[in-house]
Chain A
Amino acid sequence: MSDSSIEAINLTKNYGKFTALDNLNLKLEGSKCVGFLGPNGAGKTTTLKIFTDLIKPSSGSALINGLEVHGNKKKALENCSALVETPEIYPYMSTREALNLVADLKGLPRSDRKRMIEEAVSEVKMDEWIDAKVGKFSKGMKQRINIASTLIGYPSVIFLDEPTTGLDPRGMAEVREIIKSLKKKDRLIFMSSHLLNEVSDVCDEVALIDHGKLLAYGTLEDVTARFSGDEGIADATFSGPLEQSSIDKDVSRLTNVISVERVNGNTIRLRFKGGQRAQEGILADLVSLKLGLVEFKKAFSKLEDTYMSLIQEGN
């Protein structure tokens, strides 16, 4: 059943004169997790809202498993679940009731229901609160229930709009684990996020948009290889303050190093060319200089490099 698909065809959304989505074309197919990246206001939420019938496109179409959402909503969303923009849940309902509402709407068989709801609640670590009223929950607790609600009813396509917003660090890690475990079964997950480490952790592919236009789409490896170039930035930290003279004389002259700047007393930032191979050489050279190197790491991930260079180009 890995034939799930999500497709945007010339998808355009105007708010008055402002174009939030500009002829977006994107086809996701199969069983994987696709990260949806872009700066604030890029059009990520707008896209996900169109796919879940919260708003209508100005033109173009949004298809799920080949069915157009607009006009065919119930069928198109049959095997989907979505979490867009932290919905509020009726405050007088308990966690169990709120999830039962979803189970009822999706036609989950009675026999599976209790167990599935309890399992979903336990996945988001809210067991203790299963019979408490949602109205009293904190923002992060509500978000956990929203995530639990996307687990109900065996969805094969899942839309998530910044699913970890409002969660504590541990909650974020837990949700990442949930998404990873969802991925193991045949599923297509489309997830927007600002957290690049989150995306490189859980996603297989990325789609990058800005100003309502698609900038890049492909596997993480492809996209980063294609756009990040072979320049890199690394931070080196020493056991004590580094003299300016050794920065100028020794470090700056190492092979492949382009420039060096001081971040603080003990740490310097090196820009270098030549990719991973060069990075390896620089590390060896720094060690052999015996300046007291205690830490050496890339300042940005490849995905971050890609993101920055693409977003800047776009502007």
Chain B
Amino acid sequence: MDQDFSVGVEETRTLKVPDSFTQIGTITKYEIMNYFRARRFFVLLALGIIISVLLTFLVGYYRPYSFLQSSLTFYTQWWGGSITFVIILSAIFFGGDSISSEFQNKTGYYLVSRPVRRSSIYIGKWIASFIASLVILFVFLGIAIGNGLYYFGADVPYQLWQSVLLSILYMASVLSFAFLWSSLFKTSVISVLITIITLLVVFPLFDSLLPALVGVEPWFSLTYGAEVITAVMALTYPVHEIHSSTPIGNGHFINLTSFTPYLWEGIVIMFLYFLVSAILGLFVFEKREFI
């Protein structure tokens, strides 16, 4: 056959397998390609845009005072009011079944049996989900700022940038958290459902009930930690703990407590969730068997 080519499939030759960083890049690249191809990315982008368009319309039509009082309140309402939801949607779309689908659809066999560390696969997929979510976040931010410019000109308060940085940290931790569930379960529907339920039901329940009923700070809740995203946008940072008593007659009172995490506390909570979920998730995926 073609003697002058040495690349025939029959040849043997020692190849140097690329270092793990390069392989992580490869996994990231193909994962992002899959997001595009599966239209997942575009569906989420469309959702982000729909939320933005609705806000644009509502603010433009009703001109609510809460939004248009000042540029700071504008961004607090717009960005602070919806970014955590957008981030959770990203985690559900990109994180919820990232690992479980590899087992359920048997696509994992194609990757895992190659000379690549399992951790590289996990990290590569995580980075892909992070990049995709970041793009959505910036599109959302872009539309918010576009509207802000219309109402308030170039006056973008520095608190918005603080909030954006915290949002990115939150995004990293929520994705890590979703990846953990997706490596714990081999069925995509289950891992996605658990991601949804924990982030949208369980944590928020703790956040509202625990302080109200027993006056305990939900310091272990990821969504509680994320409250710093809106807290930094307040004119003055909210007080950590507020007690209120409402008289209900006969000398009785309803005592309510509410908490806002300190800035450092919120950062620590989100960072620990990121770190612990990442380590646990990696560990579980290393141990998982393709059976």
Contact surface of A with B, Cβ cutoff 8 Å: 1, 15, 49, 52-56, 73-82, 84-90, 92-93, 97-98, 101-102, 104-108, 112, 115-116, 119-120, 123, 146, 149, 151-156, 181-182, 184-187
Contact = CB atoms under 8 A, between A and B. Distances in A.
Contact of A74 (B17, B105, B290): B17
B26 A54 contact: no
Interface of B: 5, 7-18, 20, 22-23, 26, 29-30, 33-34, 37-38, 105-118, 287, 289-291
Contact of B10 (A84, A115, A182): A182
Contacts of B13: 154
Contacts of B12: 1, 79, 154-156, 185-187
B113 A78 contact: no
Contact of B8 (A102, A119, A186): A119
B289 A73 contact: no
A307 to B, nearest CB: 27
A87 B9 contact: no
Contacts, number: 136
Nearest to A121: B9
28 contacts: A1-B12, A15-B291, A49-B290, A52-B113, A55-B289, A56-B287, A74-B20, A74-B115, A74-B116, A77-B115, A79-B15, A82-B113, A87-B113, A88-B105, A88-B106, A88-B110, A98-B110, A101-B26, A101-B111, A105-B17, A105-B23, A107-B17, A107-B22, A119-B7, A120-B9, A153-B15, A154-B14, A155-B12
Contact of B114 (A85, A88, A106, A186): A106
Contacts of A102: 114
B20 A90 contact: no
A80 B11 contact: no
Nearest to A114: B7
B115 A116 contact: no
Nearest to B8: A119
